[in-house]
Amino acid sequence: MNQPDGLEDHYRNPRNLGELEDADAVALVHNPACGDMLRLAIKVTEGRIVAARFKAYGCAAAIAASSVATELLSGTSLEQAASISDDDIRAVIGPLPPMKVHAIVLAREGIRQVLERLHKDETE
């Protein structure tokens, strides 16, 4: 039986893939060790993330983790988004071999950086 919302499902059917017009913040994250890259964009209305989109280059785990990150972000308050952890992403895609854990770190770092960028843009 096929398990929905796992690594394979998010890799083969990534959610929220593509550009986000009029994004309020965009983060570009790169893992120099493996070459994976993530572009994460969010749109915020009244302190809530109303849309999140990504583009990723990398292994299946990186694409799946990025897809999961957008789903976890969508609809959350900025405070909730800031508390998204590696374990939250892992809970959706399942356990990864040690050499693929970097994919979860990439997605979580994308979340951290996009929120940091949003805050920086708001204070400028």
What are the pLDDT digits (tens) for 64-91?
999 999 999 999 999 999 999 999 999 9
Q: How confident is the model at residue 25 (pLDDT cuts 50, 70, 90)?
A: very high
* All residues at 6 or more sequence positions from 46 whose CB lies less than 8 Å from its CB, including other chains: none
> How many Å apart are CA 44 and CA 101, to the nearest integer?
29
**Both tokens of residue 68?**
């999961």
Which domains are delineated in the chain? 7-123 (3.90.1010.10)
Backbone angles phi, psi at 64, to 5 degrees: -65, -45
Radius of gyration from C-alpha coordinates of the chain: 14
* All residues at 6 or more sequence positions from 42 whose CB lies less than 8 Å from its CB, including other chains: 20, 23, 24, 25, 49, 51, 52, 73, 114, 118
Q: How confident is the model at residue 2 (pLDDT cuts 50, 70, 90)?
A: very low
Q: 37 vs 59, 82, 109, CA distance in Å? A: 10, 21, 11
Given this model, what pLDDT does residue 23 score?
97
What are the pLDDT digits (tens) for 55-65?
999 999 999 99
